[in-house]
Structure 1
């Protein structure tokens, strides 16, 4: 069954995050995904608060920028949260938005090199290995976690361009695709991922595909979604084009939209509300109804 997730955007005030997460869990949704955008809600802190306030919902971080954190404290944070809430954290990593990385003095000259070194080292540390490495960006001397996770923690990698997608296939435990990929771009993106997996000899390993999709419900939803996607540079001038980048309507319509993305290769469809969505709790409820329809189908 395809996983239907709900995204809590970092523009949601911190004081609302926990109550909204509880509403998402109460609706029966299995996963919540968070962004970590500069300079809004912190990913690890928000995820930990959500996990402490809920009982079973999984929380994905989509994604934490690798330039912002040394890989050793990143591993420490992930291992600590995993130890407190086993099996409920999905710690995704990515290049980060390059202008933001430059703004904080952390932009890497070669994001691909950084990702290769970082993902490889993070996975090793989380696996309980003792690591010594001297790369271009990642340098550790005899580092091992005192409290490594008791289970393997998958680390998905976010990617957009062909080189990043191939790298995600090589060094990630899954891929996170942002909304710009869309329904029409999903099969091609997964071809690049498959090329990377083949190079690394990882074709037989589990490799979940998480696709972010803008979505909503309510009487004015089409206008809201079209306005937002237009500001992101998407051509959504008619409903057919809008449907390649968005899911909207009642529970049945949203379930049908999720199925389209699943048929194109997505294992998890994470619905991200528009920035001006007037009722996030209502959206969570409709997503919960759609999940039931997906399970029945």
Structure 2
């Protein structure tokens, strides 16, 4: 739920992305800088064929004291759901409350490269998320789906408080599915405020169809650039990603200008805004410090 005009808005969570283009050996330094600066969340991408999401998250959680680490997202065709549940449960028990979990149907070309492409990605996503949430809740699961088949599977070490399972997506059918079966939704960089608002509507349609009343937070990645030539650099990045260049799909400028942009995405329905540095960012440690120390104090 989001407040009516004139009422206090819940505090927006602010995070940053550690891009997978960084060599794995650089990531612990970025996480330590984020932790020392007071950043709330640092998000990782499990893009093919770069760093593994679970192994990287484990290393970063172990290298920091309070930082939350998000995996956004793990492609479900790459993992048996029982293994995914074991890995998530292990991390949550080791680092309670500091793991953010996202799953998705994967980039289909990549899934084809590794022989994991399925005929119905949405069916797999539905079956996987449903089973994953049940396993993390400590339930015994038996299911004979199209893709997910389990017989009397129960985790020996389920987490005391299961983390929210978010779905990374953007299409209308996937957004409705996320509202129906997941706990949260993750929206990619380039998503405009209007698209966030529309995503919230579609998610709520799925929640209503499933009779769900629990909150469903939305996390959105927001491309951000600061320093000399920030606007021009952001627009080049947007074009490289195939997005329409301009302020509706990213934030550029000073800490004040970026914080104001975060507010626009939050007003549209985002509960967490994760600032995404540009590809080739020369100082990722400096970027996370900028987000935590300069943008965070100005954010609603």
TM tier, smaller:
over 0.9
Contact 2:29 2:285 survives alignment (8 Å) = no
Using the size of structure 2 for normalisation, the TM-score is 0.94
The runs of 5 or more residues in structure 1 that have no matched partner are 237-241
Of 266, 270, 276 in structure 2, the residue corresponding to residue 272 of structure 1 is 276
- Cα separation, 2, equivalents of 1:12 and 1:187: 32
Determine which of 277, 291, 298 is the counterpart of 1:293: 298
Question: Where does residue 209 of structure 1 map in the other structure?
Answer: 218
Aligned partners of 1:255, 1:25: CA distance in 2, in Å? 20
The equivalences for 1:131-210 within 5 A come to: 131-202=141-212, 204-210=213-219
Q: 2:228 maps to what in 1?
A: 219
Give the structure 1 partner of residue 19 of structure 2: 9
> Per-residue displacement from partner, 1:170-190 (whole Å, max 9, x unpaired)?
011010001132223111111
Report 1:52-131 matches (<5 A): 52-131=62-141
Question: Hey, which bits of structure 1, 4+ residues long, moved more than 2 A?
Answer: none
Partner residue of 2:31 out of 21, 28, 38: 21
Q: Indicate the SS of the match to 1:185.
A: helix
Question: Aligned partners of 2:191 and 2:70: how far apart in 1?
Answer: 19
Deviations 1:13-67 (A, max 9, x none): 1110000111112221100111100000110011011100000111111100000
Name the residue aligned to 2:49.
39
Q: Say whether the 8 Å CA contact 1:34–1:43 is kept in structure 2.
A: yes
- Count of residue pairs the alignment pairs up: 289
Displacement of 1:222 in angstroms is 1.8
What does the per-residue CA deviation read over 1:269-289, in whole Å, with 9 as the maximum and x for residues that have no partner? 011111122222222222112
- Per-residue deviation at 1:249? 1.8
Match of 2:285 among 281, 286, 292: 281
Is the counterpart of residue 254 in structure 1 residue 258 in structure 2?
yes
Q: How far is the alpha carbon of 1:212 from its aligned partner?
A: 0.7
Cα distance, 1:292 vs. partner?
1.5
Find the counterpart in structure 2 of residue 239 from structure 1: none
Q: Which of 237, 243, 255 in structure 2 is aligned with 1:234? A: 243
TM-score (norm 1): 0.95
